[in-house]
Structure 1
Amino acid sequence: MHLHGATDSEAVRRKLAEGAARLSGAGLMVAQGPGYALFDGRVPRLLLDTIMPDRPLALVADDHHTVWANTRALEQAGVLHGRETSDGHEVVMGDDGLANGTLLEPEAYAPVLSLSGYYRAMQGLAVGTEPDPAPTAAQRAGDLESLARGLAHANAHGVTSIVNMDGNLYTLDLLDQLRAEGRLTARVRVPFHFLPEMDEAELERASEMHARWNDEWLASGFVKLFMDGVIESNTAFMKADYPGRPGWRAHGRFPAERFARLATEIDRRGLQIAVHSIGDAATARVLDGYAAARRANGDSGLRHRIEHIELIDPADIPRLAELGVIASMQPMHVPGTGFPLQPAQGAIPPERWPDSYPVRRLKDAGVAIALASDWPVTDISVMRGFHAAVTRQSWCAEQADPRLTLAEALSGYTMGGAFAERTDTIKGSLTPGKLADVVILDGEIEAMDPGVLDRVAVRRTICGGRTVYKRP
């Protein structure tokens, strides 16, 4: 269930009570959407105990990098007394020697989410492996329906192509079954998720996924990695200390030498690389790895990607263009648009604000831009994404106008996305001979005030020449 709009503990309590009435039982209850501010000055575990003391409860941050859990959930998951994790993942401990309820990154929160079927849906993201034990027939049927509902939700917002940023063989197998049943209503690309603890031999699974699925409806062909966390929880890897935390810059999840070897091998296999990289130190390390791959293999033309780039060293901006790297950006990630202004803005020194969420600067430097939602981290609505991209305001006088034009935003969500997945010859524009993927809106957006773009509705979505959504 979702807690969007619940900004204080009483509102959260009411929504969870409503959800508990619908979802009877004693199993783990999972909800998404509380802001970090809910826990300011409070021990999350103890606060959640007052809200739901008798049933295990986990609240997932919108960014999916932090989970907060109550005592019952921590006990059942075996992490109340802590858990050893690798750098960048943490079961945060309290002064009383017990977990305080804050679980940073997948290694920390996986045991809690494993208490429910929700974890199976996130398994490709959290651990990059296949479900074990294998889902029962009933569980598989439920997973199929969940995927079908997600596709229908995307279609209703005008989405015809999805580049998933997590997944595994099980995900692709389910999507293939939906295709066989005539229920695949969008084109989907699913990665192999490589984690730091994996051996490089695991990349053979990525090659297997690419060999089995590589057509215009279902494809793999790329490897996803995480270099760091997020600014909000101070787990994004930075070149300078976080404000108020002397000596703390977070960590890169892959050492520089190892990432360079991985990038070189993945590139050699003919697979695209997509790396979650938010901090400036993380992005510098990713670019170093991409440069190493090019030195070893030459220019493969694979258009490797960096996801998010929320703070960048200005010296690294020309490197993206020189290396042909795609900047995959999310207009709704900017604090004050899709996310609250705090705590992210306060975690970036004011003198670095001009270097934050730099889509305009990257565009002006000739970097190829793909725009996306990162749903369910932020709103899937493309129209609200347009609105955020063209109405964004500067944080300070030193920050140049950060807005994109409507034409640039349109290109980012269409041709930019197709170019990033190397399918721009068959989709991304209304051109004779390209795939019949068309979205019809209920207004002429080029004639509108940009301030009302978020009110525009999708009238019809057509994918592969078939209407997959029609507004009632």
Structure 2
Amino acid sequence: MSNADLVILNGRVLTMDLATPRAEALAISGGRILAVGSNADIVALAAPGARRIDAQGGTVLPGLVEAHLHLFAGAFGQRFLQLDGVHGLAALRDKVQAYAKANPQEALLVCKAADYNLFGEGVTTTRQLLDQALADRPLILFAGDHHTAWANTAALTAAGLMHGRDTPPGNEVVVASDGTAAGELREHAAFDPVMALRSSGGRESLGLLGVEPETPPTPAQRAEDLAVMRDGLKLCASYGFTSLHNMDGNRYQLDLLHEIEQAGELICRTEIPFHLTPSKPVSSLAEASELAAEFATDRLSARRVKMFMDGVVDSSTAVMVEDYADRPGWRGEPLHSADRFREAAIEADRRGLQISVHAIGDGAVRRVLDGYEAARRANGPRDSRHRIEHVEVLHPDDLPRFRELGVVASMQPPHPPGAMDFPLEPWRSRVGAARWPWAFPVSCLRAQGVPIAFASDWPVSDLNPMRGVKAAVLRQPWRDGDPGHASTLHEALHGYTWGGAYAGFAEDRTGRLAAGYLADIVIMDRNLEAIPPEELDQARAAITLSEGVPIWEA
């Protein structure tokens, strides 16, 4: 056996390999794992001059997989005003006026992570309330889920929305009883006209709509965009991530990442999908195949198609099988008709592409499953690993279909209201108690043997995976007698490692610590199994390795 050029010793190694689930140490040679075993076994494999890393009793895991994030939007969003924890007019006024003073030339002031209950539980955020915080300059606030925004009068006027606007199904410029815009903007078609006011031209939403920049970025703008991408990659590496599944994209993002890859700086393996929006014809999937063929290295790929089937529960744009509990007669509007989605699913599947679809409500989940079933009938069964992103509500009749169709459930432990940062209301009341047992139904899916990948949906939720692990482990039911849908520590870590690798067709080389696998590894700063679950969010990556090369060292 060849000598190791790197050894990791004194660890609490959780391999995610059933054959050897635990170990003390790892030997690495040429970017791959040479052996897993005891300290004595591994020391014997070290070449003269090999680097030795002392894990100091910390947990050692396969490199984490962030299976659902928005890389550019998350990194760029760090430059905006963050409203986490801000409540009430006085607190908002203090924040936004200081922000406005610090950015005197900006045409639109953007705030992130605004609470649906910003002005008090049950109080609707209106343009008039925002005018009291800042009236003389355009201002927009985004909810944490990025599906709802609120704008002041100056922003709505400048964007030409003061009297509403026709929008596609599932999008809405909310209009008050007096016929003027209320201030609430639901989904992209409603708030994009406001975002276009930005001095940057709205490039911070790069790729979210699946289209290319309207005007080619200047050299200075491209340099800034490259810097944003690099910042995002570094932040991901600092949390232990070595692989990223981006959920928005276009050729421009791929070109940026390709340039970073060519410079040897693509520190995290990154996958960018082709975004099939409702406005694009199904024939545009030919472009998806072209991107998949052009960007096909182990560090940068484009093998997946992303779609949205609905919005979110909080704005009543998620699609339900039955009426919303607080809005009789309303079930939401799907973004794709059943016929259109079936056609798209069949064509993408025929091309050998993986499909991932945002589906929040049980009605949206059902429509996606129907499309995947149609694709299997039309093209024959294959290892497609088509995905459903979020699965916030599931109808029990559809549970067996995940396993039958080989569908991956891509879920976010931070998302259940009350589990981490999202408030209980209005989500619980809108869904209704009858559907609570089937909300974020991780344990039901796991019991059926459905592959589960965990992620954050950054910047919708905090990128920190240990906060997500804590949320998964400590999750509680909202009512006595309902399923808690909590995960064990090992189940949660599995979702962030092998689960994500499987979802990305990479489980043959990542997501597990075993001989022959790539040395994508994270060494945590403590033993995760030895601390109370309440302290899991305090753990951080001490060292992150990609193919044995440190990409982050605390």
Q: TM-score, normalised by structure 2?
A: 0.83
In the other structure, the counterpart of 2:37 is none
Deviations 1:34-89 (A, max 9, x none): 11012543452111111111111111111110111111111121222211111100
Task: Indicate if the aligned counterparts of 1:330 and 1:374 stay in contact, CA closer than 8 A.
Answer: yes
Task: Say which of 89, 114, 135 aligns to 1:9.
Answer: 89
- The match for 1:38 is 118
> C-alpha offsets along residues 211-248 of structure 1, whole Å, 9 cap, x if unaligned?
11112110111110000000111110001111221211
Within the candidate set 206, 228, 247, 2:288 is matched to: 206
The residue type equivalent to 1:382 in the other structure is P
Q: Is the 8 A contact 1:26 1:55 kept in 2?
A: no
Question: What is the alpha-carbon distance in structure 2 between the residues aligned to residue 417 and residue 327 of structure 1?
Answer: 10
Tell me, in whole angstroms, the C-alpha distance in 2 between the residues paired with 1:118 and 1:66.
20
Matches within 5 A, 1:147-296: 147-296=229-378
Query: What's the CA shift for 1:292?
Result: 0.3
Conserved? CA contact 2:93–2:132, under 8 Å = no
Question: Which whole-Å CA distance do the structure 2 matches of 1:12 and 1:378 have between them?
Answer: 21
The reply to whether residue 25 of structure 1 matches residue 108 of structure 2 is no
List aligned pairs for 1:29-428, cutoff 5 A. 29-39=109-119, 40-42=122-124, 44-116=126-198, 117=200, 119-125=202-208, 127-338=209-420, 339-428=422-511
Match of 1:459 in 2: 542
**Structure 2 residue identity aligned to 1:465:** G
**Structure 2 residue matching 1:328: 3-state secondary structure:** strand
1:359-381 deviation digits (Å, cap 9, x = unpaired): 11110111110111111000111
Q: Is the 8 A contact 1:242 1:249 kept in 2?
A: yes
Is contact 2:389-2:411 (8 Å) kept? yes
Contact 2:117 2:124 in 1 (8 A): no
Q: Is the 8 A contact 1:210 1:219 kept in 2?
A: yes
Q: Measure, in 2, the Cα distance between the counterparts of 1:206 and 1:109.
A: 27
Once the two structures are TM-superposed, the CA of residue 159 in structure 1 deviates from its matched residue by 1.2
Q: Distance in 1 between matches of 2:326 and 2:426?
A: 13
Aligned length: 470
Task: Check conservation: 2:116, 2:125, Cα contact below 8 A.
Answer: no
CA spacing shift, 1:297–1:193, aligned 2, 3 Å: same
Distance 1:462 1:382 in 2: 16
The two structures have a TM-score, normalised by structure 1, of: 0.97
3-state SS, counterpart of residue 162 of structure 1:
strand
1:280 corresponds to which letter in structure 2?
D
Greater RCO between the two (CA within 8 Å, min separation 6)?
Answer: 2
Q: Which sits farther off after the overlay, 298-307 or 454-463?
A: 454-463
Larger radius of gyration: 2
Distance 1:55 1:197, change over 3 A: same
Output the amino acid matched with 2:529.
Answer: E
Identify, as 1 or 2, the structure richer in strand. 2
Within 5 A, what are the aligned runs for 1:440-455?
440-455=523-538
Distance 2:335 2:216 in 1: 29
Q: State how far apart, in whole Å, the 2-side matches of 1:41 and 1:408 are.
A: 38
Q: Is the contact between residue 354 and residue 398 of structure 1 (CA under 8 Å) also seen in structure 2?
A: no
Cα distance in 1 for residues equivalent to 2:92 and 2:98: 10
Structure 2 residue runs of 5 or longer lacking an equivalent are: 1-80
Please state whether the residue corresponding to 2:114 is helix, strand or coil.
Answer: coil
- Shift of the alpha carbon at 1:118? 7.1
Higher helix share: 1
Listed as ranges, the gaps of 5+ residues in structure 1 are none
Q: SS where residue 36 of structure 1 aligns?
A: coil
CA RMSD of aligned residues (A): 1.3
Runs of 4+ in 1 over 4 A off after TM superposition: none
2:410 and 2:321 map into 1 onto residues whose CA distance is 21
Whole-Å separation in 2 of the counterparts to 1:12 and 1:205: 44
Aligned residue for 1:209, secondary structure, equals helix
SS in 2 for 1:37: coil
